[in-house]
Amino acid sequence: TEKFKRLKNEGNDFVKMGEYEEAANKYSECMKLNTEECTVYTNRALCYLKLYKYEEAKRDCDHVLQIEDSNIKAFYRRALAYKGLQVRKKNMPGI
């Protein structure tokens, strides 16, 4: 619908400006209108990666892969999320 497209475009504009928190919020709004649209999940995953929110990025990618099991962006971004989680674990003291 129109509102969905507008929110998604606003999110995309925020990404282009490097405003990842705002972009993620727009994509989250999109999800309230349509939970099946995979691009908003992969886009939000990108935002989460940029914000070092690897667990959230992985969750969004997992969701996409349940709907589209061959979504290349979801596979790639989930791999980046796993990599981020591994690096974080390595850098934590006492583990």
21-54 pLDDT, tens digit per residue, is 999 999 999 999 998 999 999 999 999 999 999 9
Superfamily of domain 1-89: Tetratricopeptide repeat domain (1.25.40.10)
Cα-atom radius of gyration of the chain, to the nearest Å?
14
* Distance from C-alpha of 18 to C-alpha of 75, rounded to nearest angstrom: 23
What integer is the mean pLDDT of 86-93? Answer: 81
Structure-block tokens of residue 40: 């908003």
Which pLDDT score is estimated for 23?
98
pLDDT tops 70 at residue 95: no
pLDDT confidence bin for 16, thresholds 50/70/90: very high
Structure-block tokens of residue 20: 């990842």
Question: Which tops the pLDDT comparison, 92 or 66?
Answer: 66
